[in-house]
Amino acid sequence: MGEMTSQNMVVMLMSLGILLGVARILGEVAQRMHQPSILGELLAGVLLGPTVLGNLAPDLLAFLFPMQGPNAVALEAVTSLSIVFFLLVAGMEVDLSTIWKQGRIGLKVGLSSIVLPFFIGFVVAFILPQAMGRHPGSDPLVFALFFATALAISALPIIAKTLMDMGLYRSDFGMVVISAAIFNDIVGWLVFAVILGLMGVSPGNSNHILMTISLTLTFAAVILTFGRWMIHKILPFLQAYTQWPAGVLGFAATLALFGAAFTEWIGVHAIFGSFFVGVAIGDSYHLRERTRTTIKHFVSFIFAPLFFAGIGLKVNFLTHFDLFLVVAVLIISCSSKLAGGMVGARWGGVQKKEAWAVGFAMNSQGAMGIILGLLALNAGVIRQRLFVALVIMAIVTSMLSGPMVRLILKPARKRRLQDALSSRLYVRNLRAVTPREAIHELTLATAEPAGMNGDLLEKAVCDREDALSTGIGRGVALPHARIDGLKRSIVAVGISDSGIDFDAPDDKLAHIIFLVLTPTQDYSAQLEFASEIAGLFQDPGMLDRLLKAKTYTDFLSAIKSIPGE
């Protein structure tokens, strides 16, 4: 101790707090706008860094995020650890078996979505190094290779997230894209590791380069075969005989740190090691879902925002903004990636329209392109203006991906209970004592948002209720009806503290009454809501929590669970 003064400590804690807080807030805003949260997190760094804060209050910037001294080191230590753990999680999402299951189409898409952008990127960067932002001191070949890789690599975590958001993750389309992205990821990182080896050394020392490259490939091969096998043997042992989940968590983190230290030591970057450790660990079915989520949540929601916001601190995005370069990178990257994805998909026998969607889905460059750019910037291979262009390219392609796939495939939007509810449809204290009275109160609340006659709605629901009562047990009732001419599904919720007898199979009174109105032509909506509601009450504490809720916000808070899990 004693290396950091109390003043250093204050600055460190404050700067991390501000970075995390702003990144999370803007991440949420991005989510609201149906964009990946990473966009908001990057923007947080741009606001807090030299681009904005540095212009408005340079002294404050220098105080919070100094470029030198103990605080600079501390921030770098924390963001480096963050990225090491983030790549561990990114690696854990890679499911090698998906590639085998999906078979050839995925491999073809994966291959051509690497080869085409790599080839085009390499040619452009090799012919026009100056225009593309090569750092004057760097080797033109290394620069061209880096540029090619930066265009070739896709962002698996973002692609997975986008597909999940659209409910396409488990579809055939989703599996083709994911397996291609996994293939792309692994090959891309291997190629990149080789290039990192080239970046790190002086041009003459070719023995050293060969050494680094062969060590890197050996490391990847060993960890994906022997290492994976060992981990698969060790995990059940840890789960059986150590404190759970301490043993597994500690093991994963320790292994990631060692892997990272090793790859950093052989001359490629630390993240390479933790990524492959993540692949090897995540691939074992012995890793429990719950352990996986503990690591994933903590890392994705605390470490990752810190890292991505930290990127914006490094560069002034205004002074290094070069319109020509930004547009050029964007065009080359999008066209080559789109072409790569499409060619692969058509080659694999995918229909033309879907092939376009594959192309756009693979086009997400998000996180990975930025990480690559940052390493190249630090290694002195590229100029800041290319870094800025790469970050913008990563952002734009990630933003385009979801909307374009949606436009082409027009997937049915996943119906979620939450979208059908609203505070106007929430009746905290039902006066009703009979099912008919409850239905009356609730249909009254729905009449206006439905834009329909309340009596008509009430009659439809009552007719249904007369046919078969809708108490489903555990204190819940689900009166419902299909309504002709209804524009969108509507769910009203009534709470009755005293309970209403909806004739449930378990003879319990209903305290929570969901009134579900769905358009007649939307066949599956009713069933989907019913199963989502039934799923909620699998949790034995749910009823109690809902009865405790005083406001609609409390209610929503209680039914909220992890999206997509």
Residues 280-309 that bind its own copies (CB under 8 A): 285-286, 293-295, 297-298, 300-302, 305
Return the exposure string of 371-389: e unless at least 16 CB atoms fall within 10 Å of the residue's CB, then b: bbbbbbbebebbbbbbbbb
Kindly state the smallest distance separating residue 147's Cβ from its own copies, in Å: 21
Three-class secondary structure of residue 131 per DSSP? coil
Cβ count within 10 A of residue 98 = 16
Nearer to its own copies, 169 or 360 (CB): 169
d(CA 156, CA 147) in angstroms, rounded, equals 19
What's 139's DSSP letter? -
Site for its own copies (CB under 8 A): which residue of 265, 331, 520, 531? Answer: 265
d(CA 38, CA 20) in angstroms, rounded, equals 12
Nearer to its own copies, 24 or 337 (CB): 24
d(CA 400, CA 411) in angstroms, rounded, equals 16
Segment interacting with its own copies, rule: CB under 8 A, options 19-27, 95-103, 137-145, 520-528: 19-27
Site for its own copies (CB under 8 A): which residue of 50, 133, 174, 247? Answer: 247
Kindly state the smallest distance separating residue 64's Cβ from its own copies, in Å: 11
Distances (CA, A) of 98 to 179, 207, 296, 327, 552: 6, 37, 20, 35, 41
Nearer to its own copies, 273 or 471 (CB): 273
Task: Map residues 429-468 to x or -, x wherever contact with its own copies holds by CB under 8 A.
Answer: ----------------------------------------
Interface with its own copies, residue 563, by CB under 8 A: yes
Kindly state the smallest distance separating residue 274's Cβ from its own copies, in Å: 9
SS3 content of the chain, % helix, strand, coil (to 5): 70, 5, 25
Judge whether 470 and 447 are in contact, CB under 8 Å: no
d(CA 68, CA 63) in angstroms, rounded, equals 11
How many chain residues interact with its own copies (CB under 8 A)?
Answer: 82
Interface with its own copies, residue 72, by CB under 8 A: yes
Task: Map residues 374-413 to x or -, x wherever contact with its own copies holds by CB under 8 A.
Answer: ----x-----------------------------------
Three-class secondary structure of residue 469 per DSSP? coil
Site for its own copies (CB under 8 A): which residue of 56, 323, 467, 562? Answer: 562
Interface with its own copies, residue 207, by CB under 8 A: no
Nearer to its own copies, 274 or 470 (CB): 274
Nearer to its own copies, 403 or 563 (CB): 563
Site for its own copies (CB under 8 A): which residue of 119, 126, 244, 347? Answer: 244
Residues 341-380 that bind its own copies (CB under 8 A): 378
Judge whether 111 and 104 are in contact, CB under 8 Å: no
What's the sign of the alpha-carbon dihedral 502, 504, 507, 510? negative
Segment interacting with its own copies, rule: CB under 8 A, options 17-25, 90-98, 316-324, 512-520: 17-25
Q: Which residues pair with 473 in a beta bridge?
A: 476
